[in-house]
Amino acid sequence: QKEVEQNSGPLSVPEGAIASLNCTYSDRVSQSFFWYRQYSGKSPELIMSIYSNGDKEDGRFTAQLNKASQYVSLLIRDSQPSDSATYLCAVRQMRANDYKLSFGAGTTVTVRA
């Protein structure tokens, strides 16, 4: 079982719609969760972090975390063509001497104008 799993997509949404991205993780001790955005040919950049259960909003982005279900999601409201990118879910384990950040394979989002 992969440590972090995402739907690979592609996810195609019309401009102005909500894009919903899902991520599940296997290790219950995971405590920190991140969403990175990667444009084609570019490096990943951090767009959201979430550490406790519930919702966290930042502009048009909302991250949702449910530790009991080992599930984290990202909602993109009012999707714009500039949101077309691959979104990577990342999970950091906080065990002693183990600080690696594990990434999912990414979900490719295409916003249709």
Q: Which residues bind other proteins (CB under 8 A)?
A: 32, 34, 42-46, 49, 88, 90, 92, 94, 97-106
Length of the chain counted residue by residue = 113
Q: How far is the CB of 103 from other proteins (least distance, A)?
A: 4
DSSP assignment letter at 60: T
Place of tokens 């920190």: 32
Coil/strand/helix, residue 10: coil
Comparison of 2 and 112: residue with beta carbon closer to other proteins: 2
**Cβ 48 to other proteins shortest distance, Å:** 11
